[in-house]
C-alpha cells in the first residue's frame, strides 16, 4: 500500500474545489482500496505518543473564525480499534498509548479525506505527534510502522513543508515567497534523492523561516522514514498558498 504526505493548507480546502482538492480526489480514485487509513496530522501535537482506539472517532473542528459551513462538516468514518493494538506491537519498545475517548479526527485529517474518500467508508485511525521527542524519534517510529503498508494500511501524513502563519500574504492566493520556494525545492531534492537524511534540511538557510514551529514539518518525517526502505519519495502535487504555505505532496510506492 502506498504512503502519502499531503500539504493540507487551510481548513477551507474541505469546502473548496481547487487544483489541490481535485488532486486529492484523483489520488483517492487511483489508490488501491486500503483496509484503513493511519493519519499523522500536525494538529494532534501533544506530550505523548498515542493512537485513537475508538470505534467511532468524532469529527473535531480544531479552529475558529471560519464560516459556519466548515463547522457543519461531519466526517463519519469508523475507527479500527484493533489497529491500535497492531501499531503498539510494531512500535515496541516505544510505548504508544490507546486513546479511547479524548481525540478523534482533526481537520488535518478530515479536510483531506473528505476529498480522497468522500464516502467516509474506510476506517481511520490517528497517531499523535509526540512534542517531547526529538525529530529522530519520528523518523525511527515511521520505519517501525512500515510493515503496516503490507497489511493494507494507507499511512497518510498531513502537514506543510512550509508553514509560517506570521508571513501570510493575503494577496498571494496561489503563490509562494522566494524563501518558501527555496526551502520547498531543497526538501524536494532531499526527499527524492535521499529521504533517510531528510533532517539535513534543518541546516538550510530558510529552515527557521519555513518551519518556525515543528508541528507541521514533523508529519513529513513519517513519509521520509517510510520512503527510506523504498529509496525515494515522489512529488505528486506542488504549489503554494498565501505566500507562506507549501501545498507540496509526496507519494511512496504510488
List pLDDT tens digits, range 10-57: 999 999 999 999 999 999 999 999 999 999 999 999 999 999 999 999
Question: How far apart are alpha carbons 221 and 208 in whole angstroms?
Answer: 16
pLDDT tens string 82-92: 999 999 999 99
Q: Could you tell me if residue 126 is left (phi over 0), alpha (psi between -120 and 50 degrees) or otherwise beta?
A: beta
Band (172; pLDDT cuts 50, 70, 90) = confident
Residue 228 pLDDT > 90: no
pLDDT of the residue at 194: 94
The whole-model pTM stands at 0.96
Question: How far apart are alpha carbons 93 and 198 in whole angstroms?
Answer: 24
Question: How far apart are alpha carbons 238 and 149 in whole angstroms?
Answer: 24
List C-alpha distances in Å: 53 to 84, 126, 157, 216.
Answer: 6, 9, 18, 23
Q: Yes or no: say if 96 and 137 are a contact pair by the CB < 8 Å rule.
A: no
Residue 58 pLDDT > 80: yes
Average pLDDT over every residue of 196-221: 98
The pLDDT mean for the chain works out to 96
Question: How far apart are alpha carbons 83 and 52 in whole angstroms?
Answer: 9
Question: How far apart are alpha carbons 179 and 45 in whole angstroms?
Answer: 26
Q: Yes or no: say if 244 and 14 are a contact pair by the CB < 8 Å rule.
A: no
Q: Yes or no: say if 85 and 132 are a contact pair by the CB < 8 Å rule.
A: no
Band (229; pLDDT cuts 50, 70, 90) = confident
Band (232; pLDDT cuts 50, 70, 90) = confident
Q: Is 58 helix (H, G, I), strand (E, B) or coil?
A: strand
Question: How far apart are alpha carbons 98 and 84 in whole angstroms?
Answer: 7
pLDDT of the residue at 21: 97
Structural domains in the chain, CATH included, are 3-252 (3.40.830.10)
Radius of gyration of the chain (CA): 17
Q: Yes or no: say if 112 and 160 are a contact pair by the CB < 8 Å rule.
A: no
Question: How far apart are alpha carbons 114 and 245 in whole angstroms?
Answer: 21
pLDDT of the residue at 39: 98
Amino acid at each position: 500500500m502506498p504512503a502519502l504526505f499531503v500539504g493540507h493548507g487551510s481548513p477551507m480546502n474541505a469546502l473548496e474545489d481547487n487544483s489541490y482538492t481535485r488532486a486529492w480526489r484523483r489520488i483517492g480514485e487511483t489508490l488501491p482500496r486500503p483496509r484503513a487509513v493511519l493519519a499523522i496530522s500536525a494538529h494532534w501535537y501533544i506530550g505523548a505518543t498515542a493512537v485513537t482506539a475508538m470505534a467511532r472517532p468524532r469529527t473535531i473542528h480544531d479552529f475558529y473564525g471560519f464560516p459556519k459551513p466548515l463547522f457543519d462538516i461531519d466526517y463519519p468514518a469508523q475507527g479500527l480499534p484493533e489497529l491500535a493494538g497492531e501499531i503498539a506491537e510494531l512500535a515496541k519498545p516505544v510505548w504508544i498509548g490507546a486513546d479511547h475517548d479524548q481525540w478523534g479526527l482533526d481537520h488535518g485529517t478530515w479536510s483531506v479525506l473528505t476529498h480522497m474518500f468522500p464516502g467516509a467508508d474506510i476506517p481511520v485511525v490517528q497517531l499523535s505527534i509526540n512534542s517531547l521527542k526529538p525529530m529522530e524519534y519520528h523518523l525511527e517510529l515511521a520505519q517501525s510502522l512500515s510493515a503496516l503498508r503490507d497489511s493494507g494500511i494507507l499511512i497518510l501524513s498531513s502537514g506543510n513543508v512550509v508553514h509560517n502563519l506570521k508571513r501570510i500574504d493575503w494577496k498571494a492566493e496561489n503563490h509562494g515567497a522566494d524563501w518558501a520556494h527555496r526551502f520547498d525545492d531543497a526538501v524536494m531534492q532531499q526527499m527524492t534523492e535521499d529521504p533517510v537524511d531528510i533532517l539535513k534540511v534543518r541546516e538550510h538557510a530558510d529552515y527557521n523561516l519555513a518551519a518556525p514551529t515543528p508541528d507541521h514539518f514533523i508529519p513529513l518525517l513519517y513519509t521520509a522514514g517510510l520512503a527510506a526502505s523504498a529509496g525515494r519519495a515522489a512529488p505528486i502535487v506542488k504549489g503554494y498558498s498565501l505566500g507562506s504555505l507549501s501545498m507540496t505532496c509526496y507519494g511512496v510506492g504510488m
